[in-house]
Structure 1
């Protein structure tokens, strides 16, 4: 009799323990939201700096990174981009979602304007023939809705160029100009701008 009671007690205890563990597992299970429709990307100068620092250190030697940018890449999706989807003459976040965050690892100059090493927001004012590039101290802003001109660190005007082939996604890429100078290219659809960055 006592053996039967002990077996029943053990079964009840095991069932209760199993239920408790299931409840804890269910309560702490993480659910993930789906992928963002606008992918996030990152670009370095020198190109692939983080990868080469780990896997090809001889390629970069003692060079330090100059700049890194993290940004979102909206799709064109058959839309007319500049002047329509992105209005001319208004502050634009240069991409989608959060304003891009640009990190300068060293003090740099953009269009002759000195910018101390650090992290900033990158904003723009697109126009048909010229863009204004804005480096702002207001990082972590969504879009350009909270843009405050008083937080500008630098503003530079650059001419618009035409892309040979339309770009489906908004893109940012760096290219070497010479030992101490690089160019940040921003392009979408048939529009490209080149922003000079120097040490």
Structure 2
């Protein structure tokens, strides 16, 4: 057992959660790079170098929308995804809920920051897409989602081996990766403005649902 495995055993991290395993995979890649990189949020359950820790959870709807666990999100976003050829692959919504922002001012700033993002045109985190597809044992899907990309372009490796899950759609993989990018940018923005208030971090629950039915709208 290596040092990372030992630390994870004693950490409060559920390694049975596929999203957390994907985050750990990306974290392992980050730790083994020979050159420094900007630290960022790596997964919905692991925060590195930022104040916002997103604890993933909730149902994923492959064919239609299910009732939400988070019915009154603080912030949320919806995205319709296509592959590199423009073919529809799914619509997803991600919701964040946190009761732990220390002030209403910070909560309002988080909402304002998200509202100003051009989410419809933001690219997902390509390295996370590669890591997640490798973890799902679907590396050949990467060039259909990220133009010209292949898993070997990225320094990613599996920590716990492949965990195939056909219920996880390509749209969901892209949405997860976009959520990481959005939450990371949000965390850095808030931490820059309120370093003292957020020095101990902020936990926020998240829930994502995706539908492969192009005629459906997200459930309320």
TM-score in terms of structure 1 length? 0.29
Which protein is bigger by CA-based radius of gyration? Answer: 1
Q: Which has the higher contact order (CA 8 A, sep 6+)?
A: 2
TM-score, length basis structure 2: 0.27
Q: Which has the higher helix share?
A: 2
Instruction: Flag the structure with higher strand content.
Output: 1
